């Protein structure tokens, strides 16, 4: 067998903030850092002398200890190893939202797809170099939200070998959890971004709505914010972007999308290049963006027509050109 050459590109997600629009004055503070294998950036109005760095660190540590597949001691890692453990409220909240999105997406969004994600090289486990149909079929027996449930604070597996991966929803949830803490502290103006997934409230230091840039989904556009497709205005809502043009594997000249359809077991192939979703919370936006990338343009459009409370900016290819589908609620900065 010919030896395969593998390149794995992992970069920032497609949405990036235009922070020049919100250069903080003395009442706005900024916290930057790394978490969940990516970066975070938080801007907030806070007249107090002390920043909230320690509060943020505590939240991020709690989430990492609950849902990170890269933390061997986390709750999800213990569960994936086949051991029993008690769940925390963070895990339960995200699991329940995952069940909800799995249902409305008819299985397109599925956190139990972890064995497939790992086998294709997009998870914490070892990649399978020869993904034949028998291999894919053997993994599909462990995929499906009907194989797991929560009872009395415990995760029950109805089939041994089931594993979970929260990567397509955890960053959005992280933004929401931090936002909830800010709300409890009476902070009225803030923007929280974790790995490109955003929740913002109120206004920036100039008194304007927050500006969020959507990167142009072109291969080679690896620096967030360098080539921007559009600038959206956002207030009191969550935003998430999912795209296939930055994260993929290339083997023997063939590219495989990092978006895996958990029903078929294979990388998706459709015209949708980037899905930016705006929802009441970042966790919902995060999961829906993945759902749209899996099912493609037409299914995403149908869902949006049926659910007008959700907005989206979809970028797709048509006859070699970029096209956009934009819902009425999207506010574009002129």
Structural Rg of the chain based on CA atoms: 20
Three-state DSSP string of 69-83: CCCCCCHHHHHHCCC
Of the given ranges (43-47, 193-197, 246-250), which has the lowest mean pLDDT? Answer: 246-250
**Closest C-alpha to 283, from 181, 179, 191, 189:** 179
- Mean per-residue pLDDT, 41-49: 89
Q: Would you give the distance in Å from CA 61 to the centre of its chain?
A: 18
| Domain annotation covers residue 322 | no
Whether the CA torsion 22, 24, 29, 35 is positive or negative: it is positive
| Domain annotation covers residue 330 | no
| Domain annotation covers residue 209 | no
The strand pair at 210-215 and 228-234 is best described as antiparallel
- Counting the structural domains of the chain, the total is 1
- Give the C-alpha separation, 123 to 80, whole Å: 12
What predicted TM-score, i.e. pTM, was given to this entire model?
Answer: 0.88
At a CB cut-off of 8 Å and minimum separation 6, what does 79 contact? 85, 155, 157, 163, 164
Write out pLDDT tens, residues 167-212. 999 999 999 999 999 999 999 999 999 999 999 999 999 999 999 9
Provide the residue range defining the domain that includes 114.
Answer: 62-157
| Domain annotation covers residue 99 | yes
- Give the C-alpha separation, 210 to 193, whole Å: 12
- What per-residue string of b and e applies to 212-222 under the rule 16 or more CB within 10 Å gives b? bbbbbbeeebe
Cβ pair 267, 255 in contact under 8 A: no
| Domain annotation covers residue 162 | no
- Give the C-alpha separation, 314 to 277, whole Å: 8
| Domain annotation covers residue 27 | no
Q: What is the pLDDT of residue 258?
A: 72
- Give the C-alpha separation, 276 to 138, whole Å: 33
| Domain annotation covers residue 307 | no
Write out pLDDT tens, residues 255-264. 445 789 999 9
| Domain annotation covers residue 81 | yes
CATH number where 67 lies: 1.10.3980.10
Q: What is the pLDDT of residue 74?
A: 97
């Amino acid at each position: 067998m010919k030896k395969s050459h593998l390149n794995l590109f992992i970069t920032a997600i497609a949405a990036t903030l235009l922070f020049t629009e919100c250069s903080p004055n003395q009442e706005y503070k900024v916290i930057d850092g790394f978490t969940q294998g990516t970066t975070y950036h938080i801007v907030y109005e806070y007249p107090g002398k002390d920043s909230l760095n320690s509060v943020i660190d505590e939240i991020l540590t709690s989430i990492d200890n609950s849902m990170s597949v890269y933390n061997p001691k986390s709750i999800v890692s213990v569960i994936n190893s086949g051991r029993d453990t008690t769940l925390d409220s963070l895990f339960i909240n995200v699991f329940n939202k995952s069940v909800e999105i799995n249902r409305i997406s008819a299985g397109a969004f599925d956190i139990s797809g972890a064995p497939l994600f790992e086998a294709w090289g997009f998870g914490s486990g070892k990649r399978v170099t020869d993904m034949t149909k028998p291999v894919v079929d053997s993994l599909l027996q462990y995929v499906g939200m009907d194989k797991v449930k929560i009872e009395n604070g415990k995760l029950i597996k109805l089939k041994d070998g089931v594993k979970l991966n929260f990567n397509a929803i955890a960053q959005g949830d992280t933004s929401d959890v931090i936002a909830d803490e800010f709300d409890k502290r009476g902070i009225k103006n803030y923007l929280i971004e974790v790995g490109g997934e955003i929740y913002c409230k109120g206004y920036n230091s100039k008194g304007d709505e927050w500006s969020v840039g959507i990167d142009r989904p072109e291969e080679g556009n690896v620096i967030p914010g360098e080539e921007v497709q559009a600038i959206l205005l956002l207030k009191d809502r969550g935003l998430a972007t999912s795209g296939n043009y930055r994260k993929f594997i290339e083997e023997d000249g063939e590219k495989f999308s990092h978006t895996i359809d958990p029903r078929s077991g294979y990388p998706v192939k459709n015209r949708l290049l980037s899905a930016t979703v705006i929802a009441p919370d970042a966790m919902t936006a995060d999961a829906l963006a993945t759902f749209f990338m899996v099912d493609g343009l037409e299914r995403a459009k149908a869902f949006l027509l049926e659910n007008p409370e959700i907005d989206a900016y979809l970028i797709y290819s048509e006859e070699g050109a970029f096209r956009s589908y934009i819902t009425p609620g999207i506010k574009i900065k002129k």
